[in-house]
Homo-oligomer: A and B are copies of this chain.
Amino acid sequence: MQIKKSLPEAVVRRLPGYHRYLCDLCRLGTRRISSQELAKLMGLTASQIRQDFNSFGGVGQQGYGYNTDELRDRIAELLGLGRSFSLILVGAGNIGQALIKYAHFAELGLHIVAAFDTSPRVVEQNIGGIVVKPIEELTAHLAHGGVDIAIVAVPAPVAQDTANLLIDAGITALWNFAPVDLQVPPHVHVVNVHMLDSLLVLLFRMNAAEK
């Protein structure tokens, strides 16, 4: 329960990758790893890894390396993975439905507990065990509390309105799949999954490589 000095942004962005690799290593039975080995595996430099791991309390042992499960647990703790999280989904279209069915949430203690949509085509439908509710029920549902994160998977034109609705209902964390940058008050956290943006970066690189 140490007070956490805020980590450099660059380190935060690498945290999930570290966590993923360490989980894999533990699963495969690897008990220790050096910065050198991990660097090779992840395509980073050993120096960078040691800097990163040092930015949150020294977990290594000189002459030995890092204990994989100790390190994994430390990073999980930083990420706040100690407890389980409840998510709601707004927008049960293609992407929304895929997310409901997505298997890897549960492994991390993340659970989609409800889904909402406006379209009569999906409302009342059972998708992967969740019955989609009409958006009108959203605010009442959130009044109960207990929801940590809202997934915004609605069409771009209504994404900002959806965000506003969620924020007014008390949500402070948005995982946004709409290709817009949401305007939110400072106490609300947003991360965007702009999939098309990454595809365009791929296009650019292909283009650049051709000369």
Contacts and interface: CB of A to CB of B under 8 A. Distances in A.
Interface of A: 3-4, 6, 12-13, 15-17, 19-20, 42-43, 78-81, 85, 94-95, 97-98, 101-102, 104-105, 108, 110, 148-149, 172-173, 175, 179, 181, 187, 189-209, 211
A203 B206 CA distance: 33
A79 B110 contact: no
Majority secondary structure, A binding face: helix
A206 to B, nearest CB: 5
Nearest to A85: B203
A57 to B, nearest CB: 15
Contacts of A193: 193, 195, 198
Contact of A199 (B13, B110, B204, B207): B110
B189 A205 contact: yes
A180 to B, nearest CB: 8
A199 to B, nearest CB: 6
B191 A209 contact: no
